[in-house]
Structure formats: structure tokens, C-alpha cells
Amino acid sequence: MIYRVEGIVIRSMDYGEGNKIVTILTDTAGKVGIMARGAKKLRSRHTSLVQPFTLGEFVYFRNAGLGQLNAGEILESNHQLREDIELSSYAAYAAELCDRAFQDEEVGAYLFHQLRACFDALREGKEPSIVIHLFEMKILEAAGYGPQLDSCVSCDSDSGPFRLSPGSGGILCRRCSGRDPGALPLEEGVLKLLRLFSAIDMRRLGSIQVKPQTREQLKAALRALMDTHLDIRLKTRGFLDQLDRLSLPAIEAAGRRRQQMEASASASGIESNPSEIPSTDTTKGLDGDSDEKLDEGH
């Protein structure tokens, strides 16, 4: 049978002489493995189509098992996600999550649209850690493990402060927090973000900036939820953690570099080009006005 689908390449591996086997996450056919004959060879018309993170239209023949790629067309190459080391790590992590957290037949159009929006957001320069944490929340929800964040899971009280108890499936108030000695502290800003993440679709993410401390807690919260509910070991996670450890010095270095550039620009009478300077905005706080910083208009 011939299929024509929109899909995103979430895994790509060499196979035999010049061939590739790719896994694509599709809008209508779940996750599918496809053999692309000759795609590894230079000048094959399918070489670009089967690169990781490519969004395309795929036409393939399949009865059972692997499909055979017949034709295809690139809709969005997402080449920026392959060329930038930081973005490619985040994109690889999101792709691996889709690959590993679900069986082929469990995957529906929802996940396809979330991953597509995730890659769009990364490509558009939104804060990658925020993009990925929102994506993790969407994965948890799709797997049936979205946490309850409105009120205490034990007594339904809605007055904080709360702690996050992944094993109980949500937040615990101060009185009930003894039920889970391992529950994580949750500062107000982090709870707000988690609530926001569970309320919005990936496609509605605006521009959000958070303090490093908030980011740390957010990361710990999502990681605890994922580790408790999804039993998967991700190859891409260690690399992301390394990037995280490097990111603080990088932000400080960017600030120093900006000062130097401004100094030399004013000395030479030319203006520095802001597009060449990495943003330092991640150090801005969310202090109670997170809603205003959301751009939900699209």
C-alpha cells in the first residue's frame, strides 16, 4: 500500500551500502520506519530529505515492517537545528523522547504537531531550555502522566506553599507534605511555570525568560516527573547536562564580550552588531508578571 504523509525524521541510521533507515513521526500514520535506498550517496535526491529533524512529505510503500521510500519533498529542512551544537542537542533530545517514550501505534497527530512546534520554537530562537521543558510536559501528558498542579493531591487545599511529589502525581500542601519525604520544594515562580506548561499547547509558547535558579528548579521538577513515570534511559540527556554546566560561564563571557565590543565600537566610531552578541536575557527574572511576558497571540 502506498502512503503519503507529513513526517519529521526523528532517527536516521546507515544501512548497508549507501542506504539509510529513518524513523519518521507522522501526522496520520504514527511512527514509521522507512528504508531510503541510496540516500547516503552523494547526489541522491533523498539525501537531504532523510537528515535528522527534517520536516517533509514522504511517499512510501509498505505492507508490513519497514516502508520503502518512493518520493518526498522537504517542507522545512530545520538545518539550523543540525548546525548549532546547542540547538542540535535539544532537538536530538526531543526527537529521542518521541522515539523512546511511545510505541509506534500509540503516536497520534498530537505528538507530531507538538514536535513540529518544538522545532519551530528552537529555530526561532526561543529560550531552548524553556522550549524543552514545555515539550517534556507535553510528553508526560501524552503518556497519561500529566501532574495535578491546581491543588493538593491529598486534601485538595489550594493554599501554598506546595511541594512537588512525582510519585503522588502532583503537588502536596504543607500539611500533607509529610506523605512524601522525597517531595521537591517548589518556589512560586516554578509552580506558575508548571501550571502554564500544563495549560498551553506547544504552538502557543511565547517568549519566556527565567532566572537561573528558577531554571534549575524547573529542570529538577520535570526530570523527577519523567524519571518517576517514564522508564527510559535517554542517550541524549547526558550531553544536554554537559551543555547546562557550560551555559553559565558562557552567559557571563557573553556579557564581558559585549562590554569589550561596545568599548571598541565606541572607540572606532562604529556600532556593534547586536545580532552577533549572544543574549544575556536569561538572567532576567519572572517576578510575578509571567503572564504579561507570554505572547499567546499566535
Binding interface with Zn ion (CB under 5 A): 152, 154-155, 157, 173, 176
Minimum separation from the CB atom of position 218 to Zn ion (A): 22
Choose between 160 and 285: whose C-beta lies nearer to Zn ion. Answer: 160
Minimum separation from the CB atom of position 155 to Zn ion (A): 3
Choose between 188 and 244: whose C-beta lies nearer to Zn ion. Answer: 188
Closest CA to 73 of 55, 50, 57, 54: 57
Asked whether the beta carbons of 142 and 94 are under 8 A apart, the reply is no
Choose between 176 and 205: whose C-beta lies nearer to Zn ion. Answer: 176
Choose between 155 and 232: whose C-beta lies nearer to Zn ion. Answer: 155
Minimum separation from the CB atom of position 214 to Zn ion (A): 24
Minimum separation from the CB atom of position 159 to Zn ion (A): 9
Choose between 11 and 163: whose C-beta lies nearer to Zn ion. Answer: 163
Minimum separation from the CB atom of position 167 to Zn ion (A): 15
Choose between 124 and 156: whose C-beta lies nearer to Zn ion. Answer: 156
Supply the DSSP string of 164-226, one letter for each residue. Answer: EEGGGTEEEETTTGGG-TTPEE--HHHHHHHHHHHHS-GGG-------HHHHHHHHHHHHHHH
DSSP H or E run through 259: helix 237-268
3-state secondary structure of 290: coil
Q: What count of Cα atoms within 13 Å lies in the side-chain half-sphere of residue 4?
A: 3
Minimum separation from the CB atom of position 226 to Zn ion (A): 24
Give dist(CA 86, CA 92) in Å, integer: 10
- Using CA atoms, how far residue 74 sits from 28, 42, 68, 255, in Å, is 17, 17, 17, 38
